[in-house]
Structure 1
Amino acid sequence: METILLVEDDQKIAELLQELLERYDFRVIHEDGFGDVAARFEETKPDVILLDVNLPKFDGFYWCRQLRLKTRAPILFISARVGEMDQVMALEYGADDYIVKPFQGAVVIAKIKSQIRRAYGTLSSENDERTVAKAGITLYLDRYIVEHGDQSIELSKKEGLILEMLLTSSPRIVSRGDLLERIWDDEAFVDENTLNVNITRVRKRLTEIGVSGLETVRGVGYRLVLEK
């Protein structure tokens, strides 16, 4: 029996979801969002997190970021906020899916079961998390967490993809064209400055965990030169 941590401050919706989930043999732990969601996660070790956006203490995006530092368990948002940017932010912060309220019970159950299969069952490609490691730096590809020594920091998806290319190629140069093609291949037009901004963010994030060596090779691209 899988355990679901349901983070929802609306008691009526929480009761409705709990009844639905228990009908399909899930064990449900309800957290109303007034307390420490990350601490509750540590106590209960759920298999899936179902998370609202609008919460009383910190919003769901904040808790999603905190939980992604701790777990690879599927995180699904379930929210009345229907804006495209809300859904983009949820995925950027590490969520696996986004369900809009009012919801259909069958859709909620199907999405949860799909994520469980992907994370733990037949669709899970491997038991160990995918990583890229070099010169004391480890990038976790499923969570976009980068570690150096005893320090770690979370990256956005695009920052993570950039660092993956730089770390994998280090100390070779990665061209601007290759970065643009890999990271923005589904966008019709990307301003050159967009890459500059993201590189600056990656450089800043690395500096925060004590990593330097991200160099700009003028007119060519970028390279990450690391101490051995």
Structure 2
Amino acid sequence: MFKILLIEDDVSLFQEIQERLSQWSYEVYGINDFSQVLQEFSEVKPDLVIIDIQLPKFDGFHWCRMIRSHSSVPIIFLSSRDHPTDMVMSMQLGADDFIQKPFHFEVLIAKIQAILRRVYNYNTENVELKTWCGATIDYEQNSVTNDKGSIELTKNEFSILKQLIDQKNKIVSRDSLIEGLWNDQRFVSDNTLTVNVNRLRKRLEEIDLGQYIETKVGQGYRAIDEASL
């Protein structure tokens, strides 16, 4: 049974979502103290987080940052706010999806199922380990390991890395990366992708691999191997 942490202060909406998700065998937890969201997140150890933007004490963006500093758990924003900058901000912070209220429950459950399937239940084709620049790329764990250590990437970071490694030594356009990440380019700015690539490169620098992601100005990015340096 997957555990979902629903960070929502609207009691009636929380209860409705909790009841509906329980019918799909999900175990849904709420927040008791909205000033201690990170602590309660650590206690629950959820498999997925659904978070509203407008919350008491601090907004959802604050708590997304805090969660992302500790975990790569998938995150879905659920909000009545409809400004494109909210969607862009959620992507820049590493969220996996953004659903606007009011919403059809069928849409929410479909997105939850798709994310959980992608993150926790890779098919046999994707489970294989790949190597790149002396590192092992684990498609099941979203991790990169070499003799310098091991890092676990967020869904967005790993998606970018996978796209680049799948076309190693070839330039992957910015549009292709954006489409692979979010499917809908209408509200995604170039800066959003840049933020995510910079975050990926910073993580890779922890195990001395940052230099193997090249920026090709005006074109896109490419993952090169050691022999290409």
| TM-score where L is the length of structure 2 | 0.59
1:182-221 paired onto structure 2 within 5 Å: 182-183=176-177, 201=198, 203-214=201-212
Q: CA deviation at 1:46?
A: 3.4
Partner of 1:33: 34
Bigger Rg, which one = 1
Describe the SS at the equivalent of 1:110.
helix
| Aligned residues of 1:78 and 1:98 also touching (Cα < 8 A) | yes
- Give yes or no for contact 2:48–2:73 (8 Å, CA) kept in 1: no
Counterpart residue number, 2:109: 113
State the percentage of identical aligned residues: 27
Q: How has the CA–CA distance of structure 1 residues 160 and 28 changed in structure 2, closer, same or farther, with 3 Å as cutoff?
A: closer
Match of 2:54, as an amino acid? N
Q: In 2, distance between residues paired with 1:65 and 1:45? A: 16
- Write the deviation string for residues 68-122 of structure 1: whole angstroms up to 9, x where unpaired: 663555x321223321121123234443432334x35xx2x3233213432457x
Unaligned regions of 5+ residues in structure 1, if any?
none
How far off its partner does 1:44 sit? 2.0
CA contact (8 A) 1:3 1:46 kept: yes
**Is contact 2:138-2:144 (8 Å) kept?**
yes
Contact 1:93–1:156 (CA under 8 A) maintained in structure 2: no
Residues 1:96 and 1:187: Cα distance change in structure 2 (over 3 Å):
closer
**Counterparts in 2 of 1:86-105, with a 5 A limit?**
86-101=86-101, 103=102
1:50 is displaced (CA, Å) by 1.9
1:225 aligns with 2:208: no
Q: 1:199 to 1:92 in 2, by over 3 A?
A: closer
Unaligned 5+ runs, structure 2: none
Alignment coverage as a number of residue pairs: 204
CA RMSD of aligned residues (A): 4.6
Q: Distance in 2 between matches of 1:59 and 1:92?
A: 15
**Which stretch has the larger CA shift, 145-154 or 16-25?**
145-154
Matched, 1:64 2:64: yes
Secondary structure of the structure 1 residue equivalent to 2:173 = helix
- Which amino acid letter does the alignment assign opposite residue 78 of structure 1? L
**CA displacement at 1:54 relative to structure 2:** 3.5
Query: How far 1:51 moved relative to its partner?
Result: 0.4
Q: Distance in 2 between matches of 1:198 and 1:85?
A: 14
Counterpart in 2 of 1:45? 45
TM-score, structure 1 normalization = 0.60
CA drift at 1:183: 2.6
Distance in 1, Cα, partners of 2:196 & 2:95: 23
1:79-90 equivalent positions in 2, closer than 5 A: 79-90=79-90
**Compared with structure 1, are the counterparts of its residues 54 and 120 closer, same or farther at alpha carbon in structure 2 (3 Å cutoff)?**
closer
- 1:20 and 2:16 correspond: yes
